[in-house]
Structure 1
């Protein structure tokens, strides 16, 4: 039987406990899970591509030997094909996520019907977490320790102090 490869794509700016939960659980469903760290300039990233790659690599250590972190700047379905993936893993927090993800899965299926999309519900305790909100809370000096690991928290707080963030950056 061929190796089942999955891709879990995202900007991970920053990686949250919700992302880590989906990575841990998604890795159990495939032989190899590729965490695809993508560029998305429209989201005004707080961290550079290299910083996000390093952050994700550090946070997935110990989650499984079948997890690999790869950066990409391409159409997701092209990236999935390049990686030999047959599965896209997506996390869902709420109904609003489902509507968007359902539409994306349909478009992706039109591009490559050989790649299936699997939706994983975020753990109930992690459902409200969004990277955008973590950055916004941090920019106003709010506590983010319940949403990210201590190391990521320190990086976010240091970046906020460095650039003097106030309010939502996207």
Structure 2
């Protein structure tokens, strides 16, 4: 069984992330969404909230699961019997960053392979940061995040303001 890990902070998950998850679920036997605990980022949602939100969003996909992790991605991948990492690309700038990250992971574990997936063009401008900014400024995020989580984002933003 080929298990692929799709890592990220997903704060919040966007329709671009979901696009990569859907497409990956058709390519791999199992997709594990690895939600990174990043101490350098102040998140909108807690790690547990992000995991719960993503679990709701990926419910239609039988071969997709969600777990949080901290520490090295290669260790998380080993613990979950995976040697394939999925990375979404929106632009050339993403590629440059992701290439460096991929090469570092390859150095840490030569058995790890990275599969780059181009995001669908309708999502190429999306980022979790831009969605948070739009939400905090009172803009509409419909079509930017899965419909199931629009109210979660609105509630969280309201509680912080």
- Once the 2 structures are TM-superposed, how far is the Cα of residue 150 of structure 1 from its aligned partner? 2.2
1:71 deviates by 1.1
TM-score of the superposed pair, with normalisation by structure 1 = 0.92
Q: Distance in 2 between matches of 1:142 and 1:65?
A: 33
2:26 is paired with a residue of what secondary structure? coil
For residues 39-78 of structure 1, the aligned pairs below 5 Å read: 39-62=37-60, 64-78=61-75
Aligned-residue Cα RMSD (Å) equals 0.9
Tell me the alpha carbon deviations over residues 23-54 of structure 1, each in whole angstroms, 9 at most, x when there is no partner. Answer: 01111221111110111132210000110000
Gaps of 5+ in 2: none
Distance 1:6 1:150 in 2: 26
User: Matches of 1:39 and 1:161 in 2, distance apart?
Assistant: 23
- Give the structure 2 partner of residue 167 of structure 1: none
Does residue 97 (structure 1) correspond to residue 97 (structure 2)? The answer is no
Aligned residue runs from structure 1 range 91-130, under 5 A? 91-130=88-127
Structure 1: which 5+ runs fail to align? Answer: 165-170
Aligned length: 161
Is residue 24 from structure 1 mapped to residue 13 from structure 2 by the alignment?
A: no
Alignment pair present for 1:79 and 2:73: no
Structure 1 residue 151, shift from structure 2 partner: 2.5
CA distance, structure 1, for counterparts of residue 148 and residue 24 of structure 2: 23
Q: Distance in 1 between matches of 2:116 and 2:11?
A: 21
Q: 1:38 corresponds to which residue?
A: 36
Counterpart Cα distance in 1 of 2:133 and 2:40: 16
Q: Secondary structure at the match of 1:145?
A: coil
| Distance in 1 (alpha carbons) for counterparts of 2:87 and 2:128 | 15
- Pick aligned residue for 1:133 from 130, 133, 138: 130
2:158 aligns to what? 161
